[in-house]
Amino acid sequence: MAVRSPKIAAVLGMALCASLAAFAQAPLSTAVIQEEWPVHGLAAPAEIIVDHWGIPHIFAQSSRDAYFLQGYNAARDRLWQIDLWRKRGLGLLSKSFGPAYVEQDRAARLFLYRGDMEKEWRSYAPDARASVEAFTAGVNAYIGDVRARARPLPIEFQLTNSTPEEWRPEDVLRIRSHALVSNVTSEVTRARVACAAGVEADLLRRKLDPVSHKRVVPAGLNPCDIPKDVLKDYELATRQVDFDAVKNKTRAAIDPETRLADLMEKQLSEGSNNWVVAPSRTETGRPILANDPHRQLGLPSLRYIVGLSAPGLNIIGAGEPALPGVSIGHNADIAFGITIFAMDQEDLYVYETNPADPDAYRYNGKWEKMIVEKQAIDVCGASPRTSIACF
């Protein structure tokens, strides 16, 4: 299909069905729907082919345009989902949904990355920044079309009387609470066991690898000094968004010990595995990679499948709708995947505070002043609230 820049041609092979049962019984439709529309920010003509499974295949004349269209199309398919992820991660729920989310916003902001963004960008692959910038520009382009009423506003925004917000590239990096690995829950549980029965009793709870590793309580630490609700902000910051408050439902108070047990069960229930079949054991003589990440089921899905084709770029697979590229898939030469590996990836630090100055803590044998940061949390239908973070 020939199109003029800056336009996107979309060819959709649609298979519509009334139900899953009907889908299972009826043959797939071979009907092809073609659409063409201008997209602000696209540098050259491009094409998206959506197959009968709903998977978009993006063909662009540059990798920049490919990632741009990935963001544009992810917003077209999943705008409510990715907008909610962003607002949850940045602590912006109250701005859209009201005062019931102030505490969750405050907790989420405690985990945001506050370091040097230029240094952070340099720690990634050389083209990472360009791909993220293109991706978020594509998301924003679709949001612009929605605001201009060229594209429909998803019904979830209408039901909650909220609107999608534009992305900055650094938003993708700053949200650390989307990727926390829950190892700290095990450390807190170990402290609770050590307080109740001594650190060796933790052998009954969790095996360590290597087995030669010895559990040791750090010098000067009393495990019983760690508050039972030490993970309150952690749990709030990593919690998924529910709308009980919008429906005037009150979340029942949960005992800290019960909450810790729930977090541990969640950590232990997640995992993943992968394996490779050697070329000598396949009929084709080529290796097979199987990847099986055990992630929670959700609707819409955590995963988002896409194909990206451009000069120097040819990949297809599953990633996440709020991220550029794919993390589980293949190119023309290799297949790749991801898996969770149980290791010490989070730490619980206990600092001694100065009795004469609560805003000072002991570090390397001397008192250091905490940095106190105050932020205003905008609240829909109410005045802003003040959030205070010390670090």
The residue ranking higher by pLDDT, 14 or 276, is: 276
The helix/strand/coil state of 292 is: strand
φ, ψ for residue 331, nearest 5 deg: -115, -155
Q: How far apart are CA 111 and CA 137, in angstroms?
A: 25
DSSP 233: H
Q: How far apart are CA 212 and CA 341, in angstroms?
A: 19
Q: Are 144 and 179 in contact (CB under 8 A)?
A: no
Model pTM? Answer: 0.85
Query: What are the beta bridge partners of residue 357?
Result: 354
What are the pLDDT digits (tens) for 220-232? 899 999 998 899 9
The pLDDT score that the predictor gives to residue 204 is: 85
What are the pLDDT digits (tens) for 104-130? 999 999 999 989 999 999 999 999 999
| pLDDT band at residue 154 under the 50/70/90 scheme | very high
Of the listed ranges 190-194, 248-252, 278-282, the one predicted with least confidence? 248-252
The pLDDT score that the predictor gives to residue 89 is: 95
Region 331-360: mean pLDDT is 87
The pLDDT score that the predictor gives to residue 2 is: 33
**% of the chain with per-residue pLDDT over 70:** 83
| pLDDT band at residue 23 under the 50/70/90 scheme | very low
Residues 6+ apart with CB under 8 A from 19: none
Domain boundaries, the chain: 7-179+271-336, 351-391
CATH class of 7-179+271-336: mainly alpha
The pLDDT score that the predictor gives to residue 24 is: 40
What are the pLDDT digits (tens) for 347-374? 888 999 999 998 899 999 999 999 888 8
